[in-house]
Amino acid sequence: MKSDKTILLTNTYFYPLDKKQWETAQPYPPLGTLWATSTLREAGYAVSFLDNCLETTTYNFSEALETYSPDIVIIYDDGFNYLTKMCLTVMRDACFEMIEAAKEKNCQIIVSSSDSTDHYGQYLEKGADVILLGEGEETLKELIPALRTEVSKDNILGIAYKDALGIVKRNERRPVIKELDSIALPAWDLVDIEPYRKIWLDRHGYFTLNIATTRGCPYKCNWCAKPIYGNRYNSRTPEQVIEEIEWVQSLFGVHYFWMCDDIFGLKPNWVQQFLALKKERKLSFRYKIQSRADLMLKDNNLDALADSGADIIWLGAESGSQAILDAMDKGTTIEQIYTATRNLKARDVRVAFFLQFGYPGEGFDDIMKTMKMVLDLMPDEIGISVSYPLPGTTFYENVKHELSQKANWSDSDDLDLMFSNTYPPIFYKTLHRYVHSRYNIRKGRNAMYNILRGRLKGSGRKLLKMGYHLPLTLHRRWLLHKYAKQGKV
Ligand code: SF4
């Protein structure tokens, strides 16, 4: 049922509350929220959009409640950003504050996020009326009329809610959308882009935006939580993605994109078609993606990626120990990581590694194999995390009997190891810093060689960093051995 009232859509990832991420100065607008907004707008509803990404408090949300007087508030997180999948407690607390504020204004409140999908009971207790379980667009189209006419929600797939007696009900999950082109393009026209542009340009000298070409991932790395899009993999057509890129370029003049899929270009021949269309329309842009080492070696993916503007590829390398990759059910080999990295570099595509320490069974030798792999291959960037058991994963089931009271990180720099493992949590925090130190020293050493070969660009900064990290690495190595001796806690 349509109404004169507006629906207020907003999100719960506040970059400034996550100090480590805020310091990297790489914010992206909340893509998932923009997609939910465009879906309802296309269905004929009056919508308002509030972007919280760059906010430090929920103050603007309270103001928006006054300004727009919505009857329904949708707090909808961006399921395309790995940061939201960490289910950080600072963001959960912010969401609870917004629920409380919206409740005071007698709004009906819908919440959609990885965390609320996993912990819908807590969110309902705080006053949310309905939690979306998984992908939200189709569910919202059914749910909004039901909320406005107070008809039963019993048959609406993909929600959890309290019935008239206050009993929590959890309906069946809704099948994911296969035809992704059927969803309207994200509501980019509602984004205030200048604050984002300024942050990127001031810090990095270029500006980038986020685009999702697929949803879900069919692989089964046993620690990877996929509460929103699950184990299916559905792809938009290259035609629609190119259409979105052209539109976003016309709106904002952007020439760099983060293709924020779990896995970019898995569908056979997708990247090749994407490349052909980019050439046909004479578009100019570069992009970064996340992928797997084994995919880089399939068909002629490497050439198509390089030719279509791939600038940097974040590989889920995880570990330099085959035993640990096998324990994770990663399905890749160390050899593939070496070959893919070398082949990408040979094509002038930069490579970055996601690394993970602390997986059950990982010993000092495994850790040193990872260190060796990093120093052998010298990826252009590294991102280090420690194993983090999230509900719904095999890994979580395996360690849940060992979980401490704490079940979530407060922010992304928390890195607490929340289950009993080979070494104490302080070991892994030190290891994180030690690996960064060794990596920066090697970068400095490589910079020295470059200077000797007459290549000066960027070398000075790397040398300075090396000087900073040299004494640190000695201290950190000493600490590592000290903490390692403390053994399992
Ligand atoms: S390939 Fe990546 S997204 Fe897919 S299951 Fe593994 S870690 Fe998760």
Query: How many angstroms separate the CA atoms of 258 and 52, rounded?
Result: 20
Q: Which of 57-66, 237-246, 365-374, 415-424 has the lowest mean pLDDT?
A: 415-424
Q: Which among 30-39, 71-80, 412-421, 449-458 has the top mean pLDDT?
A: 30-39
Segment 84-93 shows an average pLDDT of: 86
Residue showing tokens 């990581």: 337
**Does position 489 have pLDDT exceeding 70, yes or no?**
no
Atom of ligand 1 nearest to the CA of 318: 7
Q: Give the ligand 1 atom nearest the CA of 217.
A: 4
Q: Is 15 part of a structural domain of the chain?
A: yes
Closest residue to atom 3 of ligand 1, CA basis: 262
Mean pLDDT for the stretch of residues 355-373: 96
Top mutation candidate among 224, 289, 319, 396 for ligand 1, by most atoms within 8 Å of CB:
224
Mutate to test the pocket of ligand 1, among 81, 263, 318 (most ligand atoms within 8 A of CB): 263
Find all residues with CB under 8 Å of 131, minimum gap 6, and list them. 110, 111, 112, 116, 117, 120, 123, 124, 159, 160, 161
> 50 - beta bridge partners?
10
Check residue 280 and give its pLDDT.
98
Task: Give residue-wise pLDDT tens across range 314-363.
Answer: 999 999 999 999 999 999 999 999 999 999 999 999 999 999 999 999 99
- Ligand 1 nearest atom to the CA of residue 330, by list position: 6
Residue 55 lies in a domain: yes
214-215 and 234-235 as β-strands: parallel, antiparallel, unpaired?
antiparallel
CATH number at residue 80: 3.40.50.2300
User: Can you tell me which atom of ligand 1 is nearest the CA of 226?
Assistant: 8
Mean pLDDT of 402-428: 78
Q: Does 17 map to a domain?
A: yes
Tokens at residue 69, please?
């007087």
User: What's the CA-to-centroid distance between 257 and ligand 1, angstroms?
Assistant: 21
Q: Which long-range contacts (CB under 8 A, 24 or more apart) does 135-140 make?
A: 135/79, 135/174, 135/176, 135/177, 135/215, 135/228, 135/229, 136/32, 136/36, 136/76, 136/112, 137/35, 137/36, 137/39, 137/177, 137/183, 138/174, 138/177, 139/174, 140/36, 140/39, 140/40, 140/74, 140/110
Using an 8 Å Cβ cutoff, are 247 and 281 in contact?
Answer: no
Would the pLDDT of 414 be above 80? no
| Structural domain range at position 113 | 7-170
Within a domain: residue 262?
no
Helix 364-377 × helix 334-346 angle, to 10°: 20
Give the number of domains in the chain: 1
191-230: b (≥16 Cβ within 10 Å) or e: bebeebbebbeeeeeebbbbbbbbbbbebebebbbbbbbb
CA of 83 to the centre of ligand 1 (A): 15
Residue 451 in any domain: the answer is no
Identify the residues whose C-beta falls under 6 Å from ligand 1.
Answer: 217, 219-221, 224, 262-263, 292, 316
Can you tell me whether residue 298 is helix, strand or coil? coil
Arithmetic mean of pLDDT, 415-437: 87
The closest alpha carbon to 288, from 326, 256, 320, 334, belongs to 256
- Cα(219) to ligand 1 centroid in Å equals 6
- Other CB atoms within 10 Å distance of the CB of residue 55: 18
What does the pLDDT read at residue 488? 58
Q: Let me know if residue 217 belongs to a domain.
A: no
**Whats the size of the chain, residue-wise?**
489
Using the atom order of ligand 1, give the atom closest to the CA of residue 292: 1
Question: Cβ atoms within 10 A of the Cβ of 83, count?
Answer: 17
CA atoms of 18 and 30, how far apart (whole Å) = 15
In a domain, 417, yes or no: no
Residue 463: its pLDDT value, please? 86
pTM over 0.75: yes
Least confident interval from 43-52, 97-106, 304-313, 388-397:
388-397
First to last CA, the chain: 57
**Which amino acid, 481?**
H
Residue 146 located in a structural domain = yes
Handedness of CA 112, 113, 119, 124 (dihedral sign): negative
Tell me the pLDDT tens digit for each residue of 250-308.
999 999 999 999 999 899 999 999 999 999 999 999 999 999 999 999 878 899 999 99
